Amino acid sequence: MTDSPAQVRPDRRAELAAGLARVRSRIADACAAAGRERSEVTMIAVTKTYPASDVIALAGLGVTDVGENRDQEAAAKAAQVAAARVTPRWHFIGQLQRNKVKSVVRYADMVQSVDRVRLVSALDVAATAARDRQLDVLVQVSVDGDAARGGAVPASSDPDVGFGPVVEAVAAAPGLRLAGVMAVAPLGWEPVRAFGRLAALAEALRAEHPQATIVSAGMSGDLEAAISQGATHVRVGSALLGMRPTLR
């Protein structure tokens, strides 16, 4: 007999509660060290590779936001969670192919990984057709300018992957709402330096688009650095749920 997703084993629930307490205290300490209010930072639980039952347990512990990076996995999980009448905000944080946008716009509250003009138009068409309100979008930034690893490239006017062109495409799309920026610190970079660059870009963006207030930065290993540089959202997976079996 398989457990239904709504049934959470007590030992797993205790494990998640302990992980959550540790991460919450790290976030609180980082806010205090940065002179910021705790309420300025939202934690997104990155539940990729973990089952719907974990999402439901985390929601029961007060987690409001969850992140997923693969459509196939996320769509199934979101359906199971909804069937249990649990309604977290779903953030799509992974590389997104245009043939997946129709699916993603049905369950995602925010897409954080928009980094190409061609993806913006596909997402806009899908969001307009399937949703009764705008889809929140973050423009993913390639802090080191290497577009191959994902992210729009600052100071590039490339019509598909330049940061400016992607921003303007999102701002002009009726089905989308430009809500801010997201980044992953590049390998080999000091996280404070990477997130400092992101913060400067976010500030320049807000000057043009005042509603674009979200800065999604920081993961299990570098959330303190991100909070010190003004992150409003941190995306935490392994520190909360445990090490994933495969790196992705």
Binding stretches for ligand PLP (CB under 6 A): 46, 48, 69, 93-94, 184, 219-221, 235-239
What does DSSP say about strands 176-182 and 214-216: parallel, antiparallel, or unpaired?
parallel
Is the Cβ–Cβ distance between 154 and 196 less than 8 Å?
no
Strand partners, 44: 65, 235
The H-or-E segment that residue 117 falls in is: helix 117-130
We find the least distance from the C-beta atom of residue 222 to ligand PLP, in angstroms, to be 9
- Show the beta-strand stretches assigned E in the chain: 42-46, 65-68, 89-92, 110-114, 135-140, 176-182, 214-216, 233-236
Nearer to ligand PLP, 50 or 163 (CB): 50
Question: How many CB atoms are located within 10 Å of the residue 48 CB?
Answer: 18
Nearer to ligand PLP, 141 or 175 (CB): 141
Toward ligand PLP, which CB reaches closer, 86 or 93?
Answer: 93
Name which of 119 and 219 has its Cβ closer to ligand PLP. 219
* Smallest gap from residue 244 Cβ to ligand PLP (A): 7
Tokens of residue 90, six digits:
């779903």
Report the residue number whose CB is nearest to ligand PLP.
Answer: 237
3-class secondary-structure state, position 224: helix
**Which is closer to ligand PLP, CB of 153 or CB of 219?**
219
Rounded least distance, CB 71 to ligand PLP, Å: 13
Q: How far is the CB of 137 from ligand PLP (least distance, A)?
A: 15
CA distance 229 to 169: 27
Q: How far is the CB of 6 from ligand PLP (least distance, A)?
A: 25
